[in-house]
Amino acid sequence: MPDIAARGVRVPTYDRRRLEPRILHVGVGGFHRAHLALYTHELAETGSVWGIRGVGLLSRDVRMAEALAPQDHLYTLVERSGGDSHPQVIGSIVDYRLAHERPASAVELTADPSVAIMSLTITEAGYGDATVGAPSSTPTTFDVIAMGLERRYERGHPPLTIVSCDNLPDNGDAARRSTLAAARRRSGSLADWTERHCAFPTSVVDRITPATSDADRAWLLDAVGIDDRWPVFSEPFRQWVIEDEFANGRPRWEDVGVTFSDRVHDWGIYK
């Protein structure tokens, strides 16, 4: 880090060992690392101890695990505008677990009482049709969430807030429907507990984050001197508007530019 900072690149100034992975994120990709993870990193710079643990439920998530683990889950975010590029190193992701072959491990991570928020970037297709039919042989994201919630319910642990960061209308309601459908497949009492105690805030998210190319990696190494297996490149603009409905505490994201509003539908794609 000192060598990178000496090149004029911003690096984490906080002790990452103090971060507690109270956010469990499914779908660690470019957008998450340019959005929620960035806001959480900026908040850590002010003294927050909220950190992020990623979890990979798909076989293709192996690539992200292999990229992040050797870098201690650090990565470079480069904001580009016109001909200007501004790189910085982000430190808010402190762990990443692969669970595509062992969904039960993701269930235990979800059931961990220290986890307060489960955030998602799983694309619109990941929400399914929220039917109440029998689960498939391969658990969906929401089957995993429901099984984790079931263990929290049975063990007397606090409820979760499920935060969708996918760019679809009423993403909070979509997450609620899919979670409740999966919970009902397990038991009516679980579905009732989930509906009464868990939270599903709707949000508007915005940031253009193109897929990282080999040319991007080469530029970062040649121009900046950073060898990063999977950096992120994005536009400078970003936006996050979210309902302040959390079941078990939350970071003070408003201190780093997030807008909390009870009129989310007045923003962005809802206009």
* H-helix or E-strand spanning residue 134: none
Q: In which residue ranges of the chain is pLDDT below 70?
A: 129-137, 268-271
Token pair listed for 231 = 């950096």
pLDDT score of 206? 95
Q: Which residues contact 58 (CB under 8 A, 6 or more apart)?
A: 100
pLDDT (tens digit per residue) in 36-90: 999 999 999 999 999 999 999 999 999 999 999 999 999 999 999 988 999 999 9
CA distance 25 to 116: 11
Region for residue 156 given its phi and psi (left: phi exceeds 0; alpha: psi -120 to 50; beta: otherwise): left
pLDDT score of 271? 41
pLDDT score of 248? 97
Angle CA(172)–CA(270)–CA(123) in degrees, nearest 5?
Answer: 50
Buried b (16+ CB within 10 A) or exposed e, 154-166: eeebebbbbbbbb
Residue type, 142: F
Q: Which residues contact 261 (CB under 8 A, 6 or more apart)?
A: 241, 242, 243, 244, 267
Give the pTM.
0.96
pLDDT score of 265? 85
